[in-house]
Structure formats: structure tokens, C-alpha cells
Chains A and B, each alone.
Chain A
């Protein structure tokens, strides 16, 4: 940056001077050269003074130049361009007029306002801050370098000592060897010398004995003695004397001293050691997705690593670890100490390990770490969800074949500005009863959670707490009942059913052509309506979940219902419990019946919705949760209306 500014500034200076020169006529080359020289030397404006002098211009030129130099920052606006092409702007700036005052005006017009100065100052302050920052960084780097240098020095010294030690060891070994050899050679030679001396003595004796014999006056004695003497000498002469040196004079040290290990040591002073095994981190929360894992590891600070290799393979629970068909191990080469592994299976456990490699070699593998991908999102079972003004019961399927750790339900009030208003965490099972505010609309979704983190959100369902909402429990329906696609209208057709269709489980109504509704287990107030036509014989009310499925609704102590009977003369209405009903006459046949259940007060009331007419109230303490029940006693249909706000009169 500084360099750039200076260069640009210098460029302007040159342009200016060139123009000045044009006017004064001549000596352009000198000035240009001077300017070039200065550009190279990166001097500031003060060093330009001589060049100006050299230009031999009057004072007014000097002042122009100085003013320009004050305005240096302006030069930032100009694009850096080839110095050989003078900028027209520069020319105008400098010298379209010789008059000093006019020059002043021009300059101030272009960059005059205080604002600009402020801008410049701010910019400069910014730069100062940047520089300080940079200086700070440099300082840090300096410290680090120094530290590293110290460490390196120590390291080198260590190496140097090692090498010296090795060499001196080698020297000692070699010297000792030579000494040994010398000693044995000397010993051998000495022995040989001794043998020679002995042989010499012996021959000397023989010679003296021969001479004595030779000098003997007595011939007979001579003759007598000479034969054995000759024999002895001959004998002696037979013993051949080994006069060659028994040992070589040469020492034979290894011809080429094997210094390769020293060489290696010397080399290794400049070579980094192979890294040690990296340390793989355990899985961090929220580091996984459905199909990917973010894995982190660390190295020992002294290690230099060129790249890492991350190995991973799925852990299959139903397969022994030593199985021959062990899952395939995948490998990724990375430079960083982290890696995001992709294309994995959801909610699956993976075994991962990592090695580090540099030019020297490869490290041992790290420990093996177990990571898990997050589960697939659960699937909310819409038809199994039920709600009332105070709560909602949400049920879902895991969406994963492997078990997950827990589930999280998230809900947001549609009245607020979106966002999650509440989370219910650590749910162990696939259902949750959520307390809610009355008269709101909520968006509810579920996530599955394992050690890798939460799954994506399930599909969102909308729950309205206006009224009580439930679906029919279709598995309780008598085989003759059929249920509409939307789940709220039940039909009793007149076609005969095959016997096989009558086979049913314990949950299914077998006598009464009935079905239960899945009312939320909340001991509050619930209200729903049923639409019938007045030619249909029906029973509607509530029943315990375990009500006798082979008896008729209202016939036992486990169900309460309103019954409509068509007699030849009139419409008869009964309010049945334990098979008993009050005697009651209605003048208007209800075709839309409101059912109001109040657990706290222990009441179950029926209303003619169209008239807001109260028909009957059962008073009973419901020990257990009850379910709405609906039955058709002859062919026809009825429709359940749900999620309706209870009218005020329903709970007077």
C-alpha cells in the first residue's frame, strides 16, 4: 500500500516536472532520469527538492509542487498506469496556468471541502489501525519464530551431540580394535624372534663342538667324535628354520568405514521426523447430518504433517468384528485436521481413525473413534394425533430402523412471528402430550435425536386448540361399518358380509355396529358434534376404552349414550347407561347433536345444536378416560364434526 502510494506520487511528480520542463524549454531527460532514480530509491517528497532545483524553476513552481505534495492522498484516485504515458489529469492539475492564485483555487475546488479532509483523515486513521494490527501480528509472528528457532536450536544441538557421541564411540571402538591387533602381532613376532635366537644358539654350540673336534690332536679321538658330530650337525641342519614373518606388517582395518548410520543421523538433522499418531476427537454435538460426519483430530505440536488420511467404515451390529465380510473401509486424504465425511447412511455408527504423513513417513494410526450420523426425521402419524383446547397428543413413527436416543418435539404458535416457541426434549417414546394455550394454532414437528445430534424436522402438522379434535379408532369398528376417506363419516350399508369378515380381534365391536373415537387423555372439557338424519337409528356417547365390545352401547356400566329409535308412531330418544334411560320426549328431532364431556364435573351432556337445546345430562364420575362412541342401529350414516369450539351453553 505504502509502496503503491509512493510510486503513484512519484509518478505525478515526474509528470509535473516534465510539464514544467516543457514550459521552461529543455532538459527533460535529466529530470526524467532523476525522477526515475528517485522512484527506485522510494524517497519522499523532501528528496525531490534537488530535482526541482535541478529543473531550475522559479519559486512559483516550487509552491505548485509543494501544494501537490500536500495533496498526495489524491493520487490514490488515479489508476496506476504506465509512467511513460503522462496522465492528462496530472498535466491539468499541475500546469494549465502559471498563475499561482488560480492554481490554488483549482486545487481547492477539486479536493477542497472539509468533508474530504475528514474522509481522508478517517481513511488514514483506518490505515493506522490496520497497521497497528499488522504490527501486532508481526510481533506475534516474531515471538513464534523466536520460539520455534529456540526449539529448533535445541533440537539441532541434541542431534549434534548425538552424532558426536556416535562418532567418538566409533573412534573408541576402532582404536581399541587396532590396539588389540597390534598386540597380537607383536606377540607373534616376539615368539618368532625367540625361536630364532634359540636356533642360533644351537647352531653356535654345534659349530663350537665341531671346531673343538677339529682341533683335537688325538686322531682316534677325532675319528671317534667326528662321526656323531657330523650326524648331529646333519640332524640339526635338517630342522628347517621358518624365517618368514609369521604376521603381516599391514594392519587391516575395514577398508571402507561404514558411516552410513552417521550419515543418516546427519541427514536427519535436516529432515523432519515422521509424525506421531494423531489424536482423534470424540464426536462433538451437532457435528453430524443425515449422511455426513464432521470429524476432528489433533496432532502433537512438534509434528510436521503434509497430509492426513482418514479411514472410516460402518459398524454393523449384526456382524461380528472379525467377520471376513467386514464392511469396506473408505479413505479420504485431507490437509486439514478436520474433515466432513459424506454419503453415509442415516442413524448409523461409523468407526473412524486417522494417520498423518509427511516426507519422512507415515504415523501410526490414531485410536478408533465411533461417530454416528443423525437419524432420519420421524414421521408424524397424523391420524393418531388428537387435541383439545388445552393440549395435544402427538404420535409419530421413528422413521429409523435402528433405535434413536430420544425425540424432540418443537412447536410454534402461529400467532407469533414464527420461530420455535417451545421444545420438548429427551422424549423416550414416539408420543408426547403437550400442554397448549386455548384458541391458538400451533405448528408442531418432531426430530429424532442420537449422539450425532438431531435429525431434520419431520413434516409439520397444524394443531388448532379451538376445540377437541380426534379421529376414529378404525380398528375398533364393527365389520359392517365403513369409514369415509376423511375419517369422519361412518356408514352402515345393507350388504351382507361374509362370515370371514366377522372374524375380529378383541378391540372390535362385535354386536353393536359401533366405532370408538380417539379422544385425547386429558381430564378437561371436550365437545364434539354428530350429524345424522332423523331416519337413522343411532347411539352416540362415550365409552371406556375397554368397554365390552360384545354388548350394546349404553347397556353396561362402561358406556353412556343417546339412542334414537324409530317406532311406528314416533321418534324415541333414550339416554342409556346400564341399560336404563329416563323417559323423555323431544318435540324436535335433533339432526346435529352436540356432546359435551366435562371430566371435572362428571357430566356428559347432549344438545340439539340447531336449537341450542339441552337434551340430557348424565352425571357420572368417569374413573378412566373415555372415548367418544358412535354406532348405527340400522342402515344409514353419521358424520362426526370435530375441532369445534364448544358453545357457551355446553358447560353451564
Chain B
């Protein structure tokens, strides 16, 4: 469970670092970003896991989302893993931007040739938290999860599949109902096979309909001018309809004028970190 520091920069009174390690789950070297708030120098801090979207690496959030100031203020460690295994030399992994490298979809693949390496779900819910808790001043009982787009989907399913594990969950423009959208259908058929029933285990809308566990409080921001919203890749209405029916608390904010970019994320990052802080620091 050794980690190697790749970079370290002082940021917002704390440190923005990047580490590398050998993932047993993914059978490859993986990088992840760690923001350590000033409070982490003396205390154990809660952790917010951030799952990025398609094509992203650990770099996007730390360079574009402006999360560090708020994280420093609330004393939250932010962990941002990469979005897929890399350099596994699987045939076709680099063929398209929405499948393979940079598009792990936070599932455990069951299909060849992906099933050996593409186990992002286990990686982010099991291996990575263990690694983080072993190497950083964290409070293992206080973790939360958030993400953007594909990462928003990842955050939602991680939370819905593990009731009580995450104290808070939020998402920016998440893919809410992947089994109903082209991105999800492409990825799930590739990683999980043609049996659609196996897909449902990784679909936030389906999971929400069956959710039973501690009460959640989900914050979702969505840009109204998001091209992928109009392309029906995200389908938040489906999730909202199910949550309304199931009385799963969601505040869904449709932000006029915003698109799918990190400019949008940057604009509302503070609200999300505050949302997480409310539950992480309760």
C-alpha cells in the first residue's frame, strides 16, 4: 500500500499533492490527487472523493474546479482518482473518448478483455479508501462523494449501492440514467455485456427506485445550456421523478446559461463543498 508522491504544491494554506501507486484492483499504476487542508496538519479530517467525468484525469478538478479554498475552510481532504486504468494495453482501449481509457464508468467489468483491469467501482469504493486511510490523516468514518458527469453517475451509484457509507453525496450534471442514454448503453454493453439486467446495478435511477437505507440528501447542479442535457445523455428528470416518488431528498438546481464545462463546476463548487461539510462536520 505504498504511495509515491508525484507532485506537491502549497495551496490555500494546505497542500495539493499527486501520488502514484500500484493498484491491485486495477493491475496498473494509478495516480490520484490529494488536497490536504491546513487542518490536516494537526487533526484527522473527513474525506470527500471526487469522481471526474469522461476523458478526465486527476488533474481536472485540481486545476479547474477551484475546490481548494472551500476545502481548506471546512477542513476537508479531497481525493480525486483517475477515471480509468491506464496503460493496460487492452485492444481498443484508446479507440474512443467515451469508452476505455478515461471512461471507466465506475463499474466492475465482467466482460473480456476489460474485466481484469476495469474494476473502477471496487477501486473507488474499496481499495482507494483503504489506501487513503492508511496514508493520510483521515477520519475513516467520515467520507462523502461527489463527481461530474460520468463521475456524477459514479458518485450517485457509489452512494446508492452503499447505504450509509457516504455521509453526503452531490453531483454536477450527472449521467442519471445511463441505461437509457447512448453513453451508458455503449459503456455498459462493453463492460457488462448484453444482459441489460446486469446494467441496472450501476444505474442511479434504478438504484434510487430500490434504495433503502439511511436518509440521503442529494444536491445536483445542472447547467441549463449543457449540450449533453439536450442530447439526452444525462436524463436528470428520470432520477428526479423516481426520487420524488421514493421521497429521496434531492435539491436539483437547473442553472441557467451554464454548460457542461469546469467553468460551470467552478461556479458552484463552494455550494457543494458546503453541502458535504454540513454532513461531514456534523
Contacts and interface: CB of A to CB of B under 8 A. Distances in A.
Q: Do A and B bind each other?
A: yes
A649 B219 CA distance: 15
Count chain B CB atoms within 10 A of each CB in A585, A588, A652 and give the residue with the most: A585
B277 A583 contact: no
B246 to A, nearest CB: 8
A140 interface: no
A584 interface: yes
A522 interface: no
Interface string B225-252: 0000000000000001001100111111
A304 interface: no
Interface in A564-604: 570, 582-588
B247 A648 contact: no
Contact of A587 (B250, B278, B281): B250
Count chain A CB atoms within 10 A of each CB in B244, B277, B281 and give the residue with the most: B244
A613 B251 contact: yes
Nearest to A585: B252
A579 B249 CA distance: 26
A321 B256 CA distance: 80
Interface in B66-118: none
B275 interface: yes
Contacts of B224: 583
B212 interface: no
Contacts of A588: 243-244, 247-250
Interface residues of B, number: 23
B13 to A, nearest CB: 19
B217 interface: yes
A75 interface: no
A107 interface: no
A585 B240 contact: yes
Contacts of A613: 217, 249, 251
A570 B243 CA distance: 13
B253 to A, nearest CB: 5
A380 B211 CA distance: 55
A458 interface: no
Contacts of A614: 217, 219, 251, 275, 278
A584 B249 contact: no
B278 A652 contact: yes
Given A611-B249, A613-B217, A648-B282, A583 B256 contact: yes
A102 interface: no
A187 interface: no
A387 interface: no
Contacts of B215: 611
Contact of B278 (A608, A615, A649): A649
A612 interface: yes
Contacts, number: 61
Contacts of A608: 249
B255 interface: yes
A582 B251 CA distance: 12
Nearest to A611: B249
B39 interface: no
A582 B255 contact: yes
B210 interface: no
Interface in B201-226: 215, 217, 219, 224
Contact of A584 (B243, B247, B252, B278): B252
Given A611-B215, A612-B217, A613-B217, A584 B251 contact: yes
Sort chain A's interface into a size bin: 10 to 19
Contact of A586 (B251, B274, B277): B251
B254 A583 contact: yes
Contact of B252 (A587, A611, A612, A649): A587
A537 to B, nearest CB: 18
A374 B226 CA distance: 76
B230 to A, nearest CB: 15
Contacts of A585: 240, 250-254
A623 B192 CA distance: 59
A587 B248 contact: yes
B251 A615 contact: yes
A577 to B, nearest CB: 15
A352 B173 CA distance: 88
Interface in A612-652: 612-616, 648-649, 652
B70 to A, nearest CB: 11
A587 B249 contact: yes
Nearest to B224: A583
Nearest to B215: A611
A421 B208 CA distance: 57
Interface in B254-270: 254-256
Given A611-B217, A611-B249, A613-B217, A587 B240 contact: yes
A583 B249 contact: no
B189 to A, nearest CB: 30
Contacts of A615: 251
Nearest to A649: B278
Interface of B: 215, 217, 219, 224, 240, 243-244, 247-256, 274-275, 277-278, 281-282
29 contacts: A582-B254, A582-B255, A583-B253, A583-B256, A584-B251, A584-B252, A584-B254, A585-B250, A587-B240, A587-B243, A587-B247, A587-B248, A587-B252, A588-B244, A588-B247, A588-B248, A588-B249, A588-B250, A608-B249, A611-B215, A611-B217, A612-B217, A613-B249, A614-B219, A614-B275, A615-B251, A648-B282, A649-B278, A652-B281
In the A-B complex, the 7 residue pairs with the closest CB atoms? A587-B243, A583-B254, A585-B252, A587-B250, A587-B244, A611-B249, A588-B249
Interface of A: 570, 582-588, 608, 611-616, 648-649, 652
Given A584-B251, A588-B243, 6 more contacts: A583-B254, A586-B249, A587-B252, A611-B215, A614-B278, A652-B274
